[in-house]
Amino acid sequence: MQYDLTTLLTTIVGCTSTIIAILGGFISSKIIQINTEHIEIKNNLESIQKELEFKREKRREKISMEFINSKIDDFIDIEEENDLNYIYQNSLEWWIIDYDELRLFCEKASKGWILVRNARDANPGEPLNKDGIPEYLVQGLDKFQTEVCKNGIAKKYGNGSSDDLENNTKKLEKEIEDLEESIKYFEFQEEQLELKKKSFIQFPGIQSGLIIFGIFSIISIIIPLTLIPFSTTDFQIYTRARYGIIMGFIFCLFSVFIYFAAFLNSKE
């Protein structure tokens, strides 16, 4: 007597193909979703890092400006950039930026100030802008140098009052405080995005789904297809093959259900 398993094998292959298609579509949609979220997080992180660096640079600039204002009496009399050395002495105990960074700003400020002061002293009749800077030098100074020169001119030549410098210092202190609060906020945002970015590097749900996808395909599609057509006169072989194929299909089907339940309930 012939015992035939061809019908069972083709049925299992058909059912498995449908389940695999559903599982594959689910995994594909999740991969697309994760990839989209990853790109969005990456772009947001890059934007925040740029904004953070900009605010840190502004903070360094404002602190350097505050330092120069606190030493304005010494600063307006410097003759060379090297004369800055004595200004730094015993002055850096409480400053909260790196010495080299402060020095770079001070050297840039002194370069602009020496140029403006020498121009004013050499040509008293030279046309000046509203800040007291010779007009022909205005385009060559950046915003930081212009602000330093404005304060230096107010102190040395009397263009303004001591209250102006005091008000400027208070304004700087408020701006530094606001920048520090903003930096803390962006650092927190950066930290959160870094954590999210790391969570996408290895996503166990997708990896588990791909493993189940592969095992299910091998057990319930590839193996049955290699056995088609299957018939035998040995009832024992028939019984073992029949129950083996069915148990393999049930095991894979159960794994898929467990995977879907675990994945949908996962907080990740």
Question: Backbone phi, then psi, for 213, in 5-degree steps?
Answer: -55, -45
Of residues 187 and 92, the one with the higher pLDDT is 187
pLDDT at res. 106: 83
For range 226-233, the mean pLDDT: 75
Exposed, middle or buried, 91 (CB in 10 Å: 0-12/13-18/19+)? middle
- 38-83 residue pLDDT tens: 788 888 888 888 888 888 888 888 888 888 888 777 778 877 666 6
Spell out the alpha helix ranges (H) of 71-161.
72-75, 85-88, 99-122, 135-138, 143-157
pLDDT at res. 38: 76
Contact by Cβ (8 Å): 15, 224: no
User: Global pTM?
Assistant: 0.57
**DSSP-assigned letter for residue 220:** I
For range 143-163, the mean pLDDT: 78
Residue 148: band (very low, low, confident or very high) from pLDDT cuts 50, 70, 90? confident
User: Mean pLDDT in the chain?
Assistant: 77
Whether omega for the bond prior to residue 134 falls within 30 degrees of 0, making it cis, is no
Q: How far is 145 from 75, CA to CA, in rounded Å?
A: 13
Integer angstrom CA distances of residue 155 from 58, 108, 146, 151, 240: 24, 19, 14, 6, 101
- 164-204 residue pLDDT tens: 666 777 787 788 888 888 888 888 888 877 877 776 555 55
Q: How far is 109 from 114, CA to CA, in rounded Å?
A: 9
Q: Is the pLDDT of residue 97 over 70?
A: no
Identity of residue 230: F
For range 239-265, the mean pLDDT: 78
> What is the CB neighbour count within 10 angstroms for residue 145?
21
pLDDT at res. 178: 85
220: nearest Cα among 73, 14, 50, 51 = 14
Q: Is the pLDDT of residue 154 over 60?
A: yes
pLDDT at res. 249: 80
- Give whichever of 52-61, 98-107, 220-229, 246-255 has the largest mean pLDDT: 52-61
Q: How far is 74 from 162, CA to CA, in rounded Å?
A: 16
CA of residue 92 relative to chain centroid, distance: 32
Contact by Cβ (8 Å): 24, 206: no
Residue 160: band (very low, low, confident or very high) from pLDDT cuts 50, 70, 90? low
